[in-house]
Amino acid sequence: MSDQTIVFGIHAVRTLLQRRPERAARLMLQKGRQDARVNALLTLAQSAGVDTRYCDTRELDRLAGHQRHQGACLQVHAMGALGEGALDELLDRAAAAPLLLVLDGVQDPHNLGACLRTADAAGVTAVIVPRDRAAGLSPAVRKVASGAAETMPLIQVVNLARTLRWLKERDIWIVGADGQATTRAYQATLDGPLALVLGAEEQGLRRLTREQCDLLVGIPMQGVVESLNVSVASGILLYEAVRQRETAAARRR
């Protein structure tokens, strides 16, 4: 657990108050605003015993780093990124076959936030990123993640290739996304213990990362664009894995 930080935006604040109220320290709302969404936040905060105060727009702007806060900021005891040691424990505790999302050098905080949000929705065990030259848990990431940054474990590792080798020793299938791959994602088997690996916004997978993948898959592109945003691509691949897992589970019943 790291120091306190600010979560802002109606949806992100509501999600944290609903799912992790024990992490909330103080709710700050815009003076004079009395609409239904803000009142709902106030009710949640009061139910959880969270201190609330009203601030002018200038103060909220400062707290949110001059990003769009929608009149609500929440001071929280932030869940920071976890170290490599936490990954072993998370895998041991996983109730089902682990599903991991590995991001190789994604530096755009909006992309990382969107990936965390999608990972949370898809039931991912953890998101793994390099410690260096990659986005971390900034306020902008937390805003885009809409609360998922407070629930989805983010593991920062020193050496991503080494971590992938270790995952393979734990019988986790490593599947990398590559626009030049001859195997389409829908042709791959993604229903077992799995780590999906996606590269940075422009460079894609680094060579050492690519070499650790058991399989490379591509997403069919029918239009004129050559590639998809990493957060969009991660959503497509994660939900293909979810679809295959649900289908496999239905067959076993």
> Binding site for S-adenosyl-L-methionine, residues?
199, 219, 228
Run of H or E including 12: helix 10-19
> What DSSP line would sit under 107-174, residue for residue?
--HHHHHHHHHHHHHTT-SEEEEESSSS--S-HHHHHHHTTGGGTS-EEEES-HHHHHHHHHHTT-EE
Q: What are the tokens at 109?
A: 């905080």
Region for residue 204 given its phi and psi (left: phi exceeds 0; alpha: psi -120 to 50; beta: otherwise): left
**Could you tell me whether strands 126-130 and 72-77 are parallel, antiparallel, or unpaired per DSSP bridges?**
unpaired
192 to 9, 41, 164: CA distances (angstroms): 36, 40, 16
What's phi and psi for 76, nearest 5 deg? -130, 155
Query: Binding site, residues?
Result: 199, 219, 228
d(CA 142, CA 144): 6
Beta bridge partners of 6: 75
Cα gap 142→149, rounded to integer Å? 5
The phi and psi torsions of 190 (rounded to 5 degrees) equal -125, 25
Q: How far apart are CA 216 and CA 71, in angstroms?
A: 44
